[in-house]
């Protein structure tokens, strides 16, 4: 076994250790430590990915060498290191690009706590991506919830506290349902490790025993995670949460944390329930319908907003809809589209939030469209980055956004009953997306209606530049050279399904 | 049917408690009541887990008199899960209570709808910042 297979465990442990160490450092050092950590995790995940590609097989990493069913395991296939590398890179870019607001929004003597939370989020995301044990997943879901609440409430204005409470209420309802689902599953199978669970569930499904508890568990787990990731109609916490947090947190919350939950759900569908049981339960149709509603309602609400951050938040609700749409369509092609959409949204939405925050600063801190008129002419880089990311959201060719819509449409064409509705909603939502993003971009480049306030201090300007360019490059590269990425995901999904 | 219900009466009670907690968390406007609802919900899950993990007449798997017969002991995993769950729910409750204190200090009420209205008014006065 290659030494690289130790890296996932090391990354999780390093993130946890860094979070403890960060609480004793000052803000600046803690920020540097977090950034070094995320970059190191990203690079080491790529090494793991390379090692798996070379061996061509998924590896089950036994922690403490206790064999199943006593030990806890990590599953290292192709999808897992790819997503952990991607998530860590985005986290790094968020920290880099949001530097100015991190300095302005955090109280200096408390700023190191922010990075404690960032490290915990990193640990939780890695654990959700890699773990092979459903209860470990639950524990890290809760860690992720608490840490993300910390990311949100660290900016101390009344609205963020209110937003944190609403966020926590929805999150806790979600984790409560998830926990009950896991307990029911444990009740009928007596297992917690994913491969053993899958075998036990396959036996139960064959014999028809415990049909009702099994279906309730499928429903509870799916709905729990759907609520946590903000699927319609549970997206009401989003506008406040993303609208008032510090931009770096908005990026992390929208781009990574909700995606972590969805990735875990996909993992549960494939590795615990198995696609046959899940897609035989009818739950995918519920997800499909909610996703369609979410896409339309999210876009319509985004059009009605006149605050740029809240508009982006509603657009996130619509984008989450795309992911669930993929899951709802079909097990293989649909999930592939969903996975690709996770990557797309993670690469695009944080870039939008960070650029929007730069633009708002230039407009004197206002987030209203009226005051943002003409700002793009003054902040050239932020304007260009916003425009490019918006084009990707709309789905212009050569961007990741185009590919994910294309994949969704292809997945729909492969089914018999979901073609018309899916294509219709994709078309409608593309029109709506174009409408509100084009409106924003036109405003940004219009004649300014008044004098701008003097430019905000140059602090963090360079680091924003350093973050905005990789975001755009990442999007462009993945949008143009999609086929290697897709074949990797496809192969990864096969390894995913295999019971080790 | 009735016999089945009677046999799983604790689980049924747990599910009812879960629903009570869930509804309280979702429907009440008062933050403290919401937190109480959250705790009822979590406790119901632990009751469920504990009740399925215990078999009458058996003891915890600690060997004192040299007997290693499987029939004498219960599986310790559910109890371990409950302990982990309790730790999680205590920390979440502490976090929620601290958020509540902060909100109360800022808005002088515990009613979530009222707080929301005050915040909305403040925002309209400030003008979109």
Q: Which of residues 49-108 of B touch A (CB under 8 A)?
A: 49, 52, 75, 77-78, 81, 84-85, 88, 91-92, 95-96, 99-100, 102-103, 106-107
Q: What's the pLDDT tens digit per position in A29-39?
A: 999 999 999 99
Q: Is the pLDDT of residue B3 over 90?
A: no
pLDDT at A197: 92
pLDDT at A474: 92
Report the candidate in A45, A244, A15, A211 with the shortest Cα–Cα distance to residue A120: A15
Q: Is the pLDDT of residue B19 over 80?
A: yes
Chain A residues with CB under 8 Å of B41 CB are 176
**Contact of A344 with A401, CB cutoff 8 Å:** yes
A102/A249: higher pLDDT: A249
In the structure encoding, which two tokens stand for residue A11, read together?
Answer: 């990354």
What percentage of chain A reaches a pLDDT higher than 70?
97
Write down the number of H helices and E strands in chain A: 22, 2
Q: What's the pLDDT tens digit per position in A185-198?
A: 998 998 899 989 99
pLDDT at A376: 85
Q: What's the pLDDT tens digit per position in A201-237?
A: 999 999 988 899 999 999 999 999 999 999 988 888 8
pLDDT at A34: 94
What's the rounded mean pLDDT across residues A348-370? 87
Cα A276 to the chain's mean position, in Å?
26
What's the rounded mean pLDDT across residues A442-464? 72
pLDDT at A469: 92
Cα A109 to the chain's mean position, in Å?
30
- A452: preceding bond cis by omega (within 30 degrees): no
CA dist A321 and A298 (Å) reads: 9
Cβ neighbour number for residue A456 with a 10 Å cutoff: 16
pLDDT at B43: 93
Which residues are A63's β-sheet partners?
A: A72
Torsions phi, psi for A61 (to 5 deg)? -100, 110
Q: Is the pLDDT of residue A449 over 70?
A: no
- A243: nearest CA in chain B? B129
Q: Is B127 on the interface with A (CB under 8 A)?
A: yes
pLDDT at A58: 87
Report the candidate in A74, A73, A122 with the shortest Cα–Cα distance to residue A94: A122
Q: Is the pLDDT of residue A243 over 80?
A: yes
Whether A164 sits inside 8 A of B99 (CB atoms) is yes
pLDDT at A110: 85
CA dist A454 and A183 (Å) reads: 58
Q: What's the pLDDT tens digit per position in A47-84?
A: 999 999 998 888 889 888 888 777 889 999 999 999 99
Q: Which of residues 3-42 of B touch A (CB under 8 A)?
A: 18, 21-22, 25-26, 31, 34, 38, 41-42
| Helices A419-444 and A283-304, packing angle to 10 deg | 20
Which residues are A75's β-sheet partners?
A: A60
CA dist A34 and A252 (Å) reads: 14
- A228: preceding bond cis by omega (within 30 degrees): no
Cβ neighbour number for residue A276 with a 10 Å cutoff: 13
**Contact of A103 with A26, CB cutoff 8 Å:** no
pLDDT at A451: 61
B32/A66: higher pLDDT: B32
- A244: nearest CA in chain B? B129
Q: What's the pLDDT tens digit per position in B46-91?
A: 999 898 888 888 888 888 887 778 888 888 888 888 999 999 999 9
Q: Is the pLDDT of residue A286 over 90?
A: yes
Q: Which helix (H) or strand (E) holds B65?
A: none
Cβ neighbour number for residue B65 with a 10 Å cutoff: 5
Across the interface, which of B52, B88, B96 has its CB nearest the CB of A187?
B52
pLDDT at B126: 72
Q: Is the pLDDT of residue A458 over 70?
A: no
How far A163 CA sits from the closest chain B CA (Å)? 10
What's the rounded mean pLDDT across residues A124-151? 94
pLDDT band at A402 (very low <50, low <70, confident <90, very high): very high
What's the rounded mean pLDDT across residues B94-102? 92
């Amino acid at each position: 076994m290659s030494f690289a297979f130790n890296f996932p465990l090391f990354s999780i442990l390093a993130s946890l250790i860094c979070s403890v160490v960060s609480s004793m450092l000052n803000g600046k050092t803690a920020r540097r430590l977090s950034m070094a950590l995320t970059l190191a995790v990203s690079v080491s995940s790529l090494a793991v990915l390379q090692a798996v590609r070379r061996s061509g097989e998924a590896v089950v990493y036994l922690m403490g060498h206790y064999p199943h069913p006593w030990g806890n395991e990590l599953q290292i296939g192709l999808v897992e290191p790819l997503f952990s590398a991607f998530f860590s890179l985005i986290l790094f870019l968020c920290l880099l690009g949001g530097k100015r607001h991190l300095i302005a929004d955090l109280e200096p003597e408390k700023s190191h706590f922010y990075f404690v939370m960032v490290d915990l989020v990193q640990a939780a995301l890695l654990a959700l991506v890699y773990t092979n044990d459903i209860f470990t997943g639950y524990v890290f879901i809760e860690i992720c919830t608490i840490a993300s609440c910390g990311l949100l409430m660290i900016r101390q204005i009344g609205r963020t506290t209110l937003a944190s409470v609403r966020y926590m209420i929805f999150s806790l309802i979600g984790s409560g349902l998830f926990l009950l689902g896991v307990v029911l599953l444990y009740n009928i199978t007596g297992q917690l490790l994913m491969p053993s669970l899958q075998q036990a569930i396959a036996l139960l499904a064959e014999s028809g025993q415990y049909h009702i508890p099994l279906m309730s568990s499928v429903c509870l787990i799916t709905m729990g995670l759907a609520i946590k990731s903000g699927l319609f109609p549970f997206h009401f916490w989003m506008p406040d949460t993303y609208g008032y947090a510090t931009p770096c947190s908005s990026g992390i919350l929208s781009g990574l944390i909700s995606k972590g939950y969805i990735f875990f759900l996909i993992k549960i569908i494939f590795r615990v329930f198995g696609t046959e049981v899940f897609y035989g339960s009818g739950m995918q149709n519920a997800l499909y319908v909610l996703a369609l509603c979410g896409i339309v309602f999210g876009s319509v609400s985004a059009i009605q907003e006149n605050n740029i951050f809240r508009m982006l938040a509603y657009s996130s609700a619509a984008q989450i809809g795309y992911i669930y749409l993929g899951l709802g369509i079909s097990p293989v092609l649909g999930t592939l589209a969903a996975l690709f959409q996770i990557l797309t949204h993670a690469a695009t939405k944080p870039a939008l939030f960070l650029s929007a925050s730069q633009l708002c600063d230039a407009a004197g801190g206002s987030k209203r469209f009226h005051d943002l008129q003409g700002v793009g002419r003054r902040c050239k880089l932020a304007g260009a980055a916003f425009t490019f990311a918006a084009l990707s959201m709309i789905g212009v060719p050569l961007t990741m956004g185009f590919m994910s819509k294309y994949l969704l449409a292809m997945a729909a064409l492969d089914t018999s009953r979901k073609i018309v509705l899916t294509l219709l909603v994709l078309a409608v939502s593309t029109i709506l997306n174009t409408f509100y993003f084009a409106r924003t971009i036109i405003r940004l480049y219009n004649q300014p209606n008044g004098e701008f306030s003097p430019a905000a201090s140059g602090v963090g300007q360079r680091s924003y530049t350093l973050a905005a360019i990789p975001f755009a490059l990442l999007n462009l590269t993945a949008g143009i050279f999609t086929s290697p990425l897709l074949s990797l995901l496809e192969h990864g999904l096969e390894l995913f399904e295999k019971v080790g | 049917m009735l016999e089945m219900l009677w046999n799983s009466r604790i689980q049924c009670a747990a599910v009812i408690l879960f629903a009570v907690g869930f509804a309280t968390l979702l429907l009440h406007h008062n933050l403290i009541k919401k937190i109480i609802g959250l705790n009822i919900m979590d406790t119901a899950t632990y009751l469920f887990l504990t009740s399925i993990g215990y078999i009458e007449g058996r003891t915890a798997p600690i060997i004192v008199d040299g007997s290693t017969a499987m029939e004498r002991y219960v599986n310790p995993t559910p109890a371990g899960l409950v302990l982990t769950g309790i730790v999680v729910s205590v920390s979440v409750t502490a976090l929620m209570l601290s958020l509540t204190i902060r909100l109360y200090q800022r808005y002088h009420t515990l009613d979530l709808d009222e707080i929301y209205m005050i915040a909305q008014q403040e925002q309209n006065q400030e003008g979109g910042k």
